Amino acid sequence: MTTLFDPSAAATQATDAILHDTLHGTARGVVVDSPPGAGKSTLVVRAALELAEAGHPLMVVAQTNAQVDDLVLRLAEKNPELPVGRLHSSDADPYDKALDGLENVRKSAKAADLAGLAVVISTAAKWAHVKADEPWRHAIVDEAYQMRSDALLAVAGLFERALFVGDPGQLDPFAIVGSEQWAGLTYDPSASAVTTLLAHNPDLPQHRLPVSWRLPASAAPLVSDAFYPYTPFRSGTGHGDRRLSLAVPSDGSGPDRVIDEAAESGWGLLELPARHTPRTDPEAVRAVATVVRRLLDRGGAATSERSPDPTPLTADRIAVGTAHRDQAAAVRAALADLGVTDVVVDTANRLQGREYDVTVVLHPLSGRPDATAFHLETGRLCVLASRHRHACIVVCRAGVGDLLDDYPSTEPVQLGTVVKFPDGWEANHAVLAHLAEHRVTWRP
Amino acid sequence: MSLISTLARLEAVSTGRAQPAATVRHRHLSDRPLVFVPLTTAGEAGAPLGALVGTDRDAPRLLVVPQPRDRDLRFAFLADLADVVLPYVDAYAEAVEAAERTETDPETGKRVKVEVDLCADAPQLIVPSRGGIDLVRLLGRSMRFRRTAEQDPETPYPAPPRVPLLGRWLTHFGERARVPGSSLLLAMTDVLGRHWATGQSTLEDQHLGALLAWIDPPEGLTGAEAALRAELERDAKGQLTCPPAGPATDPAFDNKLLAPAIERYDRARTALAAAEDGLEADDRLGALTAAEREIRDLVLSRTLPTWEKVWQGLDLLRELPEGAHVEERWTRDRWSFTGHRDRVLAGEPPQPRRDDAVTAANKLATREREQARLEAQEALDDPLVMAGRRLSGEAFAGEVTDVVMAYSEGKRPSPRPLVTVRTDDRPHLGERTKVYRSLGGKPQSAEFAGAEEDGAYVVLRILDKMGRGKEPEPGSVPEKGDRVCFTLFEHEQRGGAKLPDPEETPWTHGGPPGEAALEAADPVTAEDTL
């Protein structure tokens, strides 16, 4: 007998357990691992509202100003009455202008001005400058896996207990100078905040959200197997729930064929002939731009559980992901040449936490003669392969499989460090093997 | 590797000579550096075999451990090293100038200026390669926890006086060398590699002989030929004609020359110990001295070529004029030196084996800030470095073609002139991207306000450094025809937030580290004694 998996019930059960530990538990911290699109922000907002309703003054720590503004907007949307403080920097334009329209949101560059508000939200960098006589009873730390241990050190004195939420599969935080000196120490300042937290407090309750609402049924198994092998998750929707249809039929070219493949199966690999190229490989960049142009020209429409009627696939529902900023700049220029200006093109780092219907990815290893730790990093590929609700099209030169075999990981082994599984080499192979089933070869 | 350094390396290959990667010198060079060319013994981490050390090019001091596994001889070597290094360091500790520093007043908690001493100059250690820096660190680590008989009469293997102090200083030099842009301890290969691009890989650049062969090839040879010769050429006895810069030695040297010589030395020593009368002992002492001299000659023969090359490298670097910000960075090295001098004078214990959470985080923050500062300052000091940043879209230069006066909105309109710059560069500018230029040494910021003719003309809105009045101060706004260079990176680094004191380390990081216990030296094991 098989039991039917009910995604909503599983998600609710997980959320209830998390909120119970946060509101009524005795541990000083609660850690929540959330796979891509599993409702992390929804959880943060809900936990914030419940803590505030219970009368606990709450501080929220996020990593970027965009994340902070987004949280403030979501909180205000759920409960417009709630007094919220937005602590911001003293730079010009420190916060989203949309916050000015919210009645119960007070904004200030000084923490003292926001004292007594139910919820105060800011970035970790700004919180680090705050001096408080009395610590907050509760804190929520968002994107805790992207926060560095030293950033947590600077703010941890401000709160008594905290809920740490984040996605362990995304990009790890990094330092711009070497930090091997501290590798293996439990408080390595360049490690992630959660690594340090758990090393010192191994008994903290750890939860995970079991359902990805973003990833379609075609993508969740691959992303789960390749990047979260020991903490699998499911998609919230089934195979028939989402459909991508195209009004204009294929013209038979490579880009059109890969679009058809991706619309059908959720994945597409546009493989260019093998070649070693500079980072901003002009052919690959043009191929990426052409795929985007054709996606727009062919009148795509997405049907999903959100609405019964197809929604047109417009430029704001498409994103292009790259590994490097110069590649993103080159793709932007190529898109501008084709008359496309409003499609988001960014690096994996900046696409973290964002969601689109279709993504077009320039493979980090495409055309490279070597596979460095940067290009192999598991989180980079995971971010690029998990931003889409419908389909993901990867543009890549042939030969990446051989490249991976020629360059097994050779990072020095550091004593006392937690070895991260899977390593980038293995994850890359898993993704490549899956993409190979959706390959369209094309010679531009 | 950036595009410009790839191009420079390709050019080096095609011309057969290293190409300049800088037009000024980006590191401070002391007038009187202490050059240290160490060698280690194969098979044991950090066991010194010998060293050439000194400040006088023509009179280096040769220090040798004839039997590197003998702890007494090793201590004697370290004591001799302390006799050279510590007087050199002390010479800089005495001359001071008055300086101001902001400190937190312990009573009021306010930030106040206090007058303190700052050493007028600081010592500078130069080793041939990065391996030398690691060895300095390792030697420091092995010495600083040792106890002298005076400190602890019970200690089983007392260290000679001043050896623990040398360990503390070498540790300080080694730690400071991790700070980007610092110059207290430099590896010659790193400094040369910063200023020249060769036609070989950066790994091969770690070979001082090969690196210098590219920069300054002998008559009639290309850099590639000379570098290959430096790496591989062997004499009739199978020995490298250009010995590696160390601290590791060539295995052929170890096997063919060093091991037999050490064996002869050991035999002579055993024979001396077994001597039955004074006359015999005299003879055998003569044999022992001869055996020791043989090892000294061998060590000299492997270190002297490297010694010469380090000084040759210094000559080459001294031909470059010093970069404008080098002095400022060296001042921070002087602060670092003064700080450690004060800690030693105050009788503080040696640096702990492991940093606590707060110290580690503070060090990382400092180094990241220094790295960003170094990158910005090198670009501002050196048009060739700036060219690299321009090529990668992080800066642009051009001519001002138009200036339109405009004002900010609000009660008191301030000048916000729009400046159009014609440029051939392709900067990665987005809407309202901030850019900076150097105006009298201070950064002036502007924001991107649009591009014309496909990016050939960039329109910028100048934001600050124009004075308080309604009209900008003269010279504060570029004029038509001016050559300007704007960067997308900031020129100055903001200080980070203050971290808690170590005794207030939060629960997330394991709580306070507790009382600092006096750390003992590593316990002596059976392998440590012969």
pLDDT, tens digit, for every residue of B116-135?
A: 899 999 999 999 999 999 99
Same domain, A261 and A408: yes
Give every CB contact of residue B43 below 8 A, 6+ residues apart in sequence: none
User: Mapping DSSP to helix (H, G, I), strand (E, B) and coil, where does residue B286 land?
Assistant: helix
Question: How far is B366 from A41, CA to CA, in rounded Å?
Answer: 33
Same domain, A323 and A420: yes
Mean pLDDT of B365-383: 96
Cβ proximity of A381 and A424 under 8 Å:
yes
Same domain, A261 and A190: no
Same domain, A149 and A17: yes
The percent of residues above 70 in pLDDT, for chain A, comes to 98
Cross-chain residue pair B368–A175, CB shorter than 8 Å: yes
Q: Is 60 exceeded by the pLDDT of residue A133?
A: yes
Same domain, A244 and A156: no
Which residues in chain A have their CB less than 8 angstroms from residue B508's CB?
29, 152-153, 156, 193, 196-197, 200-201
* Model pLDDT for residues A277-312, shown as the tens digit of each residue: 988 899 999 999 999 999 999 999 999 888 788 999
Question: What range defines the domain where residue A224 resides?
Answer: 219-441
* Model pLDDT for residues B382-411, shown as the tens digit of each residue: 999 999 999 988 999 999 999 999 998 878
Cross-chain residue pair A154–B504, CB shorter than 8 Å: no
* Model pLDDT for residues B421-444, shown as the tens digit of each residue: 999 998 888 778 899 999 988 999
Q: How confident is the model at residue A164 (pLDDT cuts 50, 70, 90)?
A: very high
pLDDT at B517: 66
The residue ranking higher by pLDDT, B151 or B189, is: B189
Same domain, A107 and A59: yes
Mean pLDDT of B481-495: 92
For residue A263, the Cα-to-chain-centroid distance in whole angstroms is: 23
Cross-chain residue pair A189–B504, CB shorter than 8 Å: no
Q: How confident is the model at residue A240 (pLDDT cuts 50, 70, 90)?
A: confident
Tell me what the pLDDT averaged over chain B comes to: 92
User: Mapping DSSP to helix (H, G, I), strand (E, B) and coil, where does residue B346 land?
Assistant: coil
CA distances from B327 to A124, B191, B331, B333, B334 (A): 34, 16, 6, 10, 10
Instruction: Report yes or no on A230 lying in a domain.
Output: yes
Give every CB contact of residue A352 below 8 A, 6+ residues apart in sequence: A143, A146, A170, A171, A383
Domain's final residue, options A192, A212, A232: A212
Same domain, A235 and A345: yes
Determine phi and psi for A253, rounding to 5 degrees: -75, 165
Domain locations in chain B as residue ranges: 27-200+322-353, 395-487
- CA angle at residue A408 from B232 to A368, to 5 degrees? 85
A188 close contact with B: CB closer than 8 A: yes
Same domain, A163 and A242: no
Q: Contacts by A94-99 with C-beta closer than 8 Å and gap 24+?
A: A94/A65, A95/A65, A95/A68, A95/A69, A96/A65, A96/A66, A96/A69, A98/A69, A98/A73, A99/A69, A99/A72, A99/A73
Nearest-by-Cβ selection for A153 from B361, B367, B392: B361
Same domain, A152 and A293: no
Residue B259: how many CB atoms within 10 A of its CB? Answer: 12
Cross-chain residue pair A181–B178, CB shorter than 8 Å: yes
Give every CB contact of residue A243 below 8 A, 6+ residues apart in sequence: A302, A303, A304, A310
Domain's final residue, options A196, A212, A228: A212
Q: How confident is the model at residue A96 (pLDDT cuts 50, 70, 90)?
A: confident
Q: Is 80 exceeded by the pLDDT of residue A140?
A: yes
pLDDT at A1: 39
Cross-chain residue pair B504–A157, CB shorter than 8 Å: yes
Q: Is 70 exceeded by the pLDDT of residue A73?
A: yes
Instruction: Report yes or no on A2 lying in a domain.
Output: no
B371 close contact with A: CB closer than 8 A: yes
pLDDT at A2: 46
A190 close contact with B: CB closer than 8 A: yes
A275 close contact with B: CB closer than 8 A: no
With residue A254 as reference, give the H or E element that holds it. helix A254-265
Specify the number of domains making up chain A.
Answer: 2
Give every CB contact of residue A63 below 8 A, 6+ residues apart in sequence: A123, A124, A142, A143, A146, A147
B500 close contact with A: CB closer than 8 A: yes
Give the gap in angstroms from C-alpha B363 to the nearest C-alpha of chain A.
9
Same domain, A208 and A356: no
Same domain, A126 and A204: yes
Strands (E), B29-157: 34-40, 48-54, 61-64, 96-104, 111-119, 125-127
Q: Is 60 exceeded by the pLDDT of residue A3?
A: no
Determine phi and psi for A337, rounding to 5 degrees: -60, -30
B510 close contact with A: CB closer than 8 A: yes
Instruction: Report yes or no on A1 lying in a domain.
Output: no
Mean pLDDT of B129-149: 93
A281 close contact with B: CB closer than 8 A: no
The model's pTM: 0.91
Cross-chain residue pair A128–B496, CB shorter than 8 Å: yes
Q: Tell me, what CATH number does A121's domain have? A: 3.40.50.300
Peptide bond into B244 cis (omega under 30): no
Q: How confident is the model at residue B418 (pLDDT cuts 50, 70, 90)?
A: very high
Q: Is 60 exceeded by the pLDDT of residue B530?
A: no
pLDDT at B529: 57
Cross-chain residue pair A182–B364, CB shorter than 8 Å: yes
Q: Is 60 exceeded by the pLDDT of residue B163?
A: yes
A280 close contact with B: CB closer than 8 A: no
**Cα Rg of chain A (Å, integer):** 22
pLDDT at B63: 97
* Model pLDDT for residues B45-88, shown as the tens digit of each residue: 789 999 999 999 999 999 999 999 888 899 999 999 999 999 99
The percent of residues above 90 in pLDDT, for chain A, comes to 68
Torsion angle of C-alpha atoms B173, B175, B180, B184, degrees rounded to 10: -10
Instruction: Report yes or no on A155 lying in a domain.
Output: yes
Interface test with B, best of A133, A180, A181, A326 (most B CBs within 10 A): A181
A142-171 residues touching B, CB cutoff 8 A: 149-150, 152-154, 156-157
Residue B504: how many CB atoms within 10 A of its CB? Answer: 11
B406 close contact with A: CB closer than 8 A: no
Cross-chain residue pair B428–A28, CB shorter than 8 Å: no
* Model pLDDT for residues B241-283, shown as the tens digit of each residue: 999 987 999 999 999 999 999 999 999 999 999 888 888 889 8
* Model pLDDT for residues B164-181, shown as the tens digit of each residue: 999 999 999 999 999 999
Cβ proximity of B519 and B145 under 8 Å:
yes
Instruction: Report yes or no on A335 lying in a domain.
Output: yes
Domain's final residue, options A169, A189, A212: A212
Same domain, A206 and A224: no
Instruction: Report yes or no on A377 lying in a domain.
Output: yes
Instruction: Report yes or no on A232 lying in a domain.
Output: yes
Q: Is 90 exceeded by the pLDDT of residue A322?
A: yes
ipTM: 0.89
Fold classification of B395-487 (topology level): Thrombin, subunit H (2.40.10)
Q: Is the Cα dihedral A171, A176, A177, A182 positive or negative?
A: negative
